[in-house]
Structure 1
Amino acid sequence: MKPRLVFVHGIGGPRDVAAELDAWLRALADGARAAGHAKRVLDLVQGWAADARFAYYGDLFGGPQAQGASASRPGEDADTLLVGDWLLEALDERLEEPHSDDEVRILRHACAQLAPQGQSQGLGSGARHVLSAANTLLSLPGVRALGDWAGARLMVGQLRQVARYLRRAELDDEGLTLDARIRRRVEQALAPDGPTIVVCHSLGTVVSVETLHSFPGRIPLLVTLGSPMGMRTAVQPKMRPQPLKVPGSVDRWLNFWDKDDVIVGRPRLEKFVLPSERSVLPVSARVDSDGAWVHPAAKYLAQPAVAGPVVEAIEAATGA
C-alpha cells in the first residue's frame, strides 16, 4: 500500500484543488532534485510514490468579497484587532534583522499605525489602524504581487482567517463551528488505515496540529512550514489543547521557517511545545529563500532541507 501524502494550505482566497496539488507536488519535486533524490521526481509528480491529497477548506471562509469586504460579520472588528496584534508582534521580530534602511522605515511606520501613541481608540478606530498599517506593508517589495493582494482590505481579510478559526464561532446548520468544519476537512484527507505524511503551511499548521490530536492513525512525519504558532498573543494561547504539546499520533515533527518570513514570529516551536508521551518534540530549522516575499508554500517546498526528509519518509513508509 502506498503511503498517503497530505498537503494542508494556509490563508488565502478560493483555490483550484487539482492545480494546487500539482503545484505543490512540482515544488516538492524541485526540492527533492536539489536534495539528491532526482530518481524520485517523476514518481512524486505522477503520484506513483504516494497517494497525494490536497486538504482544501478555503471555501468555508466564503468568497473573495466576504474575505475582503467591510465589517459586516459578527466579531469581524475583534478579528481585525487580533490581526493587528499578530502583525505588531511579527513586525517587532522582523525589525531585529531588517534588510535595509528603507525596510526599517516602512516597518516602523506600520508599527506606529498599529500602536499609535496617546490615542484613546474604540474597536472601529482600531480596525482602521490595522487597515492603514496593512496598506503600508503592501509597499514592501514583492508583498502585493506574491501575496496576491490587490489592497489592504483583501490582505487583512485573508489574515483574519486565522482569527476566525481561533474564535471557535460561526455555527452551521449542524451546530458545527467554523474551526470544527475545517478540521473535519483535514481529517477526511488522512489515511485511516495506513501511514500519512502531513505537510502543512501557515494557518494549515495550526489546523493540522489540532486535528492530529484526535486522529488515531499513524503520522510518520509532520512538516510545518511558515507556522504562526509562535505568536504569543494572537495564536499560541488560543490553540487547543493547552498546554501545547506534540500529538500522540506523530512519530517525527520537522518545523521550517525562513528568516525573511514576517508571518512566523517565534519560529523555534520546541521552546514552547511540550513533548508527546513518546518524547517526540518539534525540530526547527531555518531555510533561506530568494525573493522579497518568502511566505508562499512553494518557496518552502522547493528547499532541499524540506523536500529531502519528505521523500525519505515516503520511501521508509513504502518499505514498512
Structure 2
Amino acid sequence: MADAISGLTKGWLADVTFANYSDLFNRRGAQGDTAGELDEDEVPFLAGLLDAMLEELAEQFPAASSPEDARVIADARFQLDAAVQGRQSQGVGEAGRRLVGVTTTMLRLPGVRQAAQWMNGWSILSQIAQVGRYLDRRAKKAELGESVRARVLGGLDPARPLVVVSHSLGTVVAYEALHEYEGAVPVWITVGSPLALGAVVLDRLVPRPASCPPNVASWLNFWDRDDLVVGRPHLADWIGPSKTGVKAVTERVDSRGLWTHTATKYLEHGVVAHPVIEALRP
C-alpha cells in the first residue's frame, strides 16, 4: 500500500488531475458577507437545504434520548420558519442573516460543534450556497454549471480508464459530468456528498430521474456521522441504478478532530483509500 501511495503521489502509477473551479464561483465585489451576496432566488434553495439538514440532525439527536439537543434543533427550525415567512417583507439581506442564525444555532449541537470548531454560521452557509448556484438552471445562471463541467471534462482523456474521487459539491458536479463523459470509469468514489440531501438537490440533478452514470463500473459512497452536509444512507436508496445495474454502495466512516467534512478526513480511512489503490494497480 505504501509503495502504491508513493507511486500515486509521485506520478508514476497514474496521472493525477485535480479539477479546480473555485474561481468560477467568485463574484465581483464580494466582501465575504454571504447574506449580502445572496440573490432572492437563492433563499428558497438554502431554506430547503437547511430544512433537509435539520431533518437529518433530528434523526441523529432524537428527543427521547437527546432532549437538550432536540431543543436546539427545534430552535433552529423556528428560526428557519421565521426566515422563510419574513423573506418578502424584510428583504434578501435580512433573510440571509436569519439563515446564518440557523446555521449558527446548529453549531450548538455537541457533535457538530466539535466537528466544526473553526467554522461559523457564515462559512457553512457560504459553502452550501455554492451547491444552489451550480444547480441554477435559469438563463445565464446555467452558464456557471456548464463552465464548471467543461473545466472538469476538459482535463480528461476518454481513451484511458478514469478513477474518480469527488467530494462535497464535487460529487454533484461529477454526477452530471460523468453522465456526459464517454470514457470508462472503473471506480467512482463520493465522500461528504449532498447528492441525496433532500429533494432540493435531488430534483435539480440532470439527467432525471437520478441514476448512476452508465459508464461507472463501481460507485462507492462514504459518509461521516458528524458531517453536516451529507444525506447519509439515503443516496443509495434515492438514486437509481444504471442500465447495467450499478448503483451506489454506501458505507459510514467515523472521523475525529476538526470539521469532518473535508476530503482529507475521509481519505484518511483505509476503507476509502483502498479501492482507489486497487483500481490503479497494474
Do these two structures clear the TM 0.5 threshold for a shared fold by scoring above it?
yes
> In structure 2, how many angstroms separate the alpha carbons of the residues matched to 1:39 and 1:67?
45
Structure 2 counterpart of 1:189: 155
* Secondary structure of residue in 1 paired with 2:114: coil
* Secondary structure of residue in 1 paired with 2:180: coil
Pair 1:252 & 2:218 matched: yes
Structure 2 counterpart of 1:11: none
* Secondary structure of residue in 2 paired with 1:49: coil
Structure 2 counterpart of 1:49: 13
Pairs within 5 Å for 1:70-109: 76-98=39-61, 103-109=69-75
Pair 1:303 & 2:269 matched: yes
Structure 1 counterpart of 2:79: 113
Q: How many residues align?
A: 271
**Deviation of residue 239 (structure 1)?**
0.6
Q: Deviations over 1:261-314 (max 9, x none)?
A: 121124332212121121111111111111353111111111111001110011
> 1:77 touches 1:127 (CA, 8 Å); kept in 2?
no
Structure 1 counterpart of 2:136: 167
**Deviation of residue 48 (structure 1)?**
2.0
> In structure 2, how many angstroms separate the alpha carbons of the residues matched to 1:298 and 1:100?
30
> Structure 1's 142 and 255: CA in aligned 2 closer, same or farther, altered over 3 A?
closer
Q: Deviations over 1:228-265 (max 9, x none)?
A: 11122320001111101111111111111112212112
**Deviation of residue 169 (structure 1)?**
4.2
> In structure 1, how many angstroms separate the alpha carbons of the residues matched to 2:137 and 2:114?
35
Pairs within 5 Å for 1:55-70: 55-62=19-26, 66=30, 68-69=32-33
> 2:34 touches 2:126 (CA, 8 Å); kept in 1?
no
One-letter code aligned to 1:303: H
* Secondary structure of residue in 1 paired with 2:17: strand
One-letter code aligned to 1:290: R
> In structure 1, how many angstroms separate the alpha carbons of the residues matched to 2:275 and 2:100?
39
> 1:195 touches 1:220 (CA, 8 Å); kept in 2?
yes
Structure 1 counterpart of 2:185: 219
TM-score (norm 2): 0.86
**Deviation of residue 60 (structure 1)?**
0.2
The CA RMSD over aligned residues, in Å, is 2.6
Structure number having the greater helix percentage = 2
> 2:34 touches 2:125 (CA, 8 Å); kept in 1?
no
Structure 2 counterpart of 1:291: 257
Instruction: Name stretches of at least 5 consecutive residues in structure 1 with no aligned partner.
Output: 1-36
User: Equivalent pairs: percent with the same residue?
Assistant: 37
> Structure 1's 268 and 64: CA in aligned 2 closer, same or farther, altered over 3 A?
farther
* Secondary structure of residue in 1 paired with 2:104: helix
Structure 2 counterpart of 1:26: none
One-letter code aligned to 1:49: L
> Structure 1's 161 and 63: CA in aligned 2 closer, same or farther, altered over 3 A?
same
> In structure 2, how many angstroms separate the alpha carbons of the residues matched to 1:186 and 1:177?
14
TM-score (norm 1): 0.76
* Secondary structure of residue in 2 paired with 1:76: coil
Q: Deviations over 1:14-43 (max 9, x none)?
A: xxxxxxxxxxxxxxxxxxxxxxx2332321
Pair 1:137 & 2:100 matched: no
* Secondary structure of residue in 2 paired with 1:130: helix
> 1:81 touches 1:127 (CA, 8 Å); kept in 2?
no
Pair 1:235 & 2:192 matched: no
**Deviation of residue 138 (structure 1)?**
4.4
> In structure 1, how many angstroms separate the alpha carbons of the residues matched to 2:31 and 2:215?
33
> 2:117 touches 2:258 (CA, 8 Å); kept in 1?
no
